[in-house]
Structure 1
Amino acid sequence: MLKIENLHAEIDGKPILNGLSLSVRAGQVHAIMGPNGAGKSTLGYVLGGRPGYEVTGGSVTFEGSNNEQLDLLDMAPDERAAAGLFLGFQYPVEIPGVSNVQFLRTALNAQRRARGEAEMSAGDFLRAARAQGEALDVSMDMMKRNVNVGFSGGEKKRNEMVQMGLLGPRLAVLDETDSGLDIDALRIVGAGINRIMRAPDKAVVLITHYQRLLDIVQPDFVHVLAEGRIVRSGGPELAHELEREGYAQVAA
């Protein structure tokens, strides 16, 4: 579904990714771990198409919603989203003056139009939003509030999972989704990732510092990213080794 080959990227002239390669097949969950400054968030931003991150080498191929092979780096961010890519942020942004339901319905129907699908009616959308919210402990009152304004860290992350559930991506790139979560919120978010994305035609790239979320999501592969490239890969046991030994020992 996703094939990254020898990816190089920089910001403000500073190289961050230095020959990163990764292949993700449908049905798989890949966890990316590594120390601060290793390039984990940069990888997510480059895949999502965030401005300011310049790709200087390599390629990224993505199998989109219609099963076509796409040059991800040649697509605008909205085109990537319509093709089935979802980027979850470490720090979800606040959007004053825009309600969650307005934002979500607009985003969903924009993607449906881009794929040549009929827009979802207001009634169907509200029923779908209510179902996703109930599964993630996000009330309709919360969804009527401005996007993330006044939300706690856990509320922002649960709200982001509602977005993911409604948009129904093929590939979710989640940047430190466990950041700022207490134990209960971690369980809810982890269960949400499993419910929404654990499917034969979907995949997840889960960027995290800690092993605790991986106990719930249970990745198929764990990769250690250091100095802008993947230096070691393994199964779920690698996350436990990192927890015991630290990055310096494991990535040496």
Structure 2
Amino acid sequence: MLDLVTVTLASLFAGFIDAIVGGGGLILVPALFSVYPSAAPATLLGTNKGAGVWGTGWATAQFAKRVQLQWSALLPAAGAALIGGLGGAWTVTLVSAEGLRKALPLILIGVLAYTLARKDMGRTHAPLHSGRTQALVASGIGLVIGFYDGFFGPGTGSFFVFLFVRLLGYDFLNASASAKLLNTATNLAALALFAIKGHVWWHIALTMAVANVIGSLLGTRLALKHGAGFVRGVFIAVVSALILKTGWDAFLK
């Protein structure tokens, strides 16, 4: 019973952070591995997706009520993200992700340094593209980061946010809202594969899903209330935490 309470609380906090800027897996995945150390990793990752997909889906719906999402660009991008996620999940069964595991902290340091250097980046919503061009760029982001999510995963939501800000000219609030839709697609792709293989503890995942949605609701409301500047601050904090976590896993663990 205590184990379930622990992972449920972790899921609540993960949903809260994930709704604002992504990075919920940084909280929930380690919690699952800590509480259930003897379980198969695939089962814990599948259970994580079984909980997290509800939070990202809920956040997408809440953001859509208050933020004018570019559906003509985002729906094709979500489809590309789903395809990329499936491709990444298939590829990881054939190729080791060890090289990417060691490169990830360095990539994240680059993302953080760029964000800090460009103090005005993402504070104003000024899309750089429109129409078909915006859809193509968004779909490219969806395909590449979707593949990364299926292949490896840590920081997927943060990468979506960063690239929407950098390549599409969105502010951090619109980028976060848009990222939720694509992250939902990649989560669905991964969940489908894990479920087919029987790697989801549904009785635990559903309990965590309720907590994840509650956390997502709280995080979404906070992001909408405080705007792009607040989301940018949380983004910097989450990426900093990801650098520490992935650096520890890659070089010190």
TM-score, length of structure 1 as denominator length: 0.29
Choose 1 or 2 for highest CA Rg. 1
TM-score, length of structure 2 as denominator length: 0.29
Higher strand share: 1
Higher helix share: 2
